[in-house]
Amino acid sequence: MTLLDIIKHRRSVRHFLDRPVEREKIMLCLEAARLAPSACNSQPWKFIIVDDEEMKDRLCHAAFSGVYSITSFAKKAPLIVAVVSEKAKFLERIGGLIRDTRFYLIDIGIATEHFILQAEELGLGTCWLGWFNEGAVKTILKIPKDRRVDILIAVGYYDRGKIDQPHKREPMEKITAFNSYDGVGE
Ligand SMILES: Cc1cc2nc3c(=O)[nH]c(=O)nc-3n(C[C@H](O)[C@H](O)[C@H](O)COP(=O)(O)O)c2cc1C
């Protein structure tokens, strides 16, 4: 499979099989995330893997309750990864202030997608999760108060047959132009 094949194959998975994920596969996904680029090579991330059944149940119950219960499909994932946003390097933070850009969010986005594409290659389904109770996640995983958890990843095996619809994406001509924004289609 080429990289583009893997990208085309990936979907957000919201139904998981009751099958544990091998630690060796998770280590490969973490290696892909570890090698991600970041502004000033800041690497402002930590990945907390929750695969202990009891711990995961406790985490999911707290993270996906109340207003966040729309994400409760993730309770069935055998594994949840909390992507912790660490303090970026001084230079990245200064650059971000001057540019008014939160580079650390770009960094963790790239690292998370590296993880997800590696998972896809290994036959694992994933879903980005941005809608969860961050405070509860931090308390349960003992994440320091001054860190953020902007993203969780649900990971597990899945039944591919259930989600084989085409990607819903804008056509190429609507989102690209060469040499000037003027060429971008409406
Ligand atoms: C930053 C981010 C946050 C997301 N948060 C959620 C979420 O909380 N719940 C959910 O079901 N999907 C979530 N998604 C998945 C998107 O809904 C999904 O990627 C999009 O609809 C495109 O579908 P596809 O991933 O199957 O191609 C998130 C995706 C991203 C990139």
Q: Which residues of 46-66 are buried (b: 16+ CB within 10 A; e: fewer)?
A: ebbbbbeeeebeebbebbbee
Alpha carbon nearest to ligand 1 atom 18, residue: 12
Per-residue confidence (pLDDT) for residue 16, from 0 to 100: 96
What is the distance in A from the centroid of ligand 1 to the CA of 1? 24
Per-residue confidence (pLDDT) for residue 143, from 0 to 100: 97
Alpha carbon nearest to ligand 1 atom 15, residue: 128
Q: Is the CB of 167 under 6 A from ligand 1?
A: yes
Site to substitute for ligand 1 among 10, 11, 12, 80, most atoms within 8 A of C-beta: 12
With a cut of 70, list the residues of the chain below it in pLDDT: 164
Query: What is the tens place of the pLDDT at every residue in 79-94?
Result: 999 999 998 888 888 8
Q: Is the CB of 131 under 6 A from ligand 1?
A: yes
Residue 179 CB contacts under 8 Å (≥ 6 apart), including other chains: none
Per-residue confidence (pLDDT) for residue 25, from 0 to 100: 98
Domains of the chain: 8-159+166-183 (3.40.109.10)
Alpha carbon nearest to ligand 1 atom 29, residue: 128
